[in-house]
């Protein structure tokens, strides 16, 4: 028998405030049409004053627990992917642990920017298949609205806030691609590309800083690297293109999503797209899209799903799983 990390619950949370593209027209030289044509984004959610990353992560976590029919103390661990934790320390994950009333196990953050959820899933999967934990909550949560330069129309219109969570559980499989659960993982990074996507602040500067991005360079790297990592992960899992039911990509930009699907030889009919309503929610975008995809009735038990993401670092990767 082979131990597999199987999704047994999921949930998400979006802040109440919805910000349409038109809201930016009063302060920036931009328009709804300009934003939509370049990104596919129509609106996004922004956290309320005083609403933190751990707050929205906790709400997504509670929804995932309810979906799974579990309590917080049924979990062995929480792995939270974020680049916008409430404080320098302690981790946002331990704050979620406390808010849920979970008084056992362990919790920690993973920081790989937009690829964070892929990295968090990889870590949780490794903990499960090594026997260190049986049931792990994996969360992606971000409040990128807190690191926006509101005078930079090339970045501030692209990002939003939100959180998504999945619960992985150790289950026995036969060891082939018919198993439910995570079938393969591929992770990559290349720190030589730091300057094309970064935040110009941090502990060393004693400032929070603002997000800075060279959009054309990011796009150039994204399509190539996302298609390659997805292909490698599919090859590791023994999954052919025609066996993929859904691509659930990082929701950064509709052009990147379309370009990656085309390079993989897959139809957009097989892609879960939420970027129009959420914007780029960084590490939260994939679990948000998974949760919305299930709500829409797109993703069903037994479906083969390919998830892929790229973010600052650069860091990128993919996970193939059977739902």
- List the catalytic residues: 114, 250, 280
Q: What is the 3-state secondary structure (H, E, C) of the chain?
A: CEEEEEEEEEEEECCCEEEEHHHHHHCCCCCHHHHHHHHCCCEEEECCCCCCHHHHHHHHHHHHHHHHCCCHHHCCEEEEECCCCCCCCCCHHHHHHHHHCCCCCEEEEECCHHHHHHHHHHHHHHHHHCCCCCEEEEEEEEEHHHHCCCCCCCCCCCECEEEEEEEEEEEEECCCCCCCEEEEEEEEECHHHHHHEEECCEHHHCECCCEEECHHHHHHHHHHHHHHHHHHHHHHHCCCHHHCCEEEECCCCHHHHHHHHHHHCCCHHHECCCHHHHCECHHHHHHHHHHHHHHCCCCCCCCEEEEEEEECCCEEEEEEEEC
């Amino acid at each position: 028998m082979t131990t597999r990390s199987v999704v047994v619950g999921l949930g998400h949370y979006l802040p109440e405030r919805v910000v349409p593209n038109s809201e930016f027209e009063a302060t920036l030289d931009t328009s709804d049409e300009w934003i939509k044509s370049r990104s596919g984004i129509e609106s996004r959610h922004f956290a309320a004053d005083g609403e933190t990353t751990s707050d929205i992560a906790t709400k997504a976590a509670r929804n995932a627990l309810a979906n799974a029919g579990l309590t917080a103390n049924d979990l062995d661990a929480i792995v939270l992917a974020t680049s916008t934790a409430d404080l320098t320390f302690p981790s946002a994950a331990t704050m979620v642990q406390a808010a849920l009333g979970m008084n056992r196990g362990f919790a920690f953050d993973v920081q790989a920017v937009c690829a964070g959820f892929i990295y968090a899933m990889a870590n949780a999967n490794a903990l499960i298949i090594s026997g260190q934990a049986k049931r792990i909550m994996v969360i992606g949560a971000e409040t990128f609205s807190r690191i926006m330069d509101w005078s930079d129309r090339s970045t501030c219109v692209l990002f939003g806030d939100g959180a998504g969570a999945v619960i992985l559980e150790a289950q026995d499989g036969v060891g082939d691609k018919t198993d439910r659960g995570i079938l393969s993982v591929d992770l990559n990074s290349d720190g030589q590309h730091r300057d094309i996507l970064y935040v110009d602040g941090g502990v060393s500067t004693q400032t929070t800083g603002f997000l800075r991005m060279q959009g054309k360079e990011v796009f150039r790297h994204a399509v190539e690297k996302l298609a390659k990592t997805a292909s490698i992960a599919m090859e590791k899992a023994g999954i052919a293109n025609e066996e993929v039911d859904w691509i659930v990509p990082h929701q950064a930009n509709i052009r990147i999503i379309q370009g990656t699907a085309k390079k993989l030889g897959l139809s957009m009919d097989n892609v879960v797209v939420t970027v129009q309503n959420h914007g780029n929610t960084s590490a939260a975008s994939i679990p948000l899209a998974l949760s919305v995809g299930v709500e829409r009735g797109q993703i069903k038990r037994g479906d083969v799903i390919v998830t892929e993401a790229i973010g600052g670092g650069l860091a990128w990767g993919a996970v193939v799983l059977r739902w």
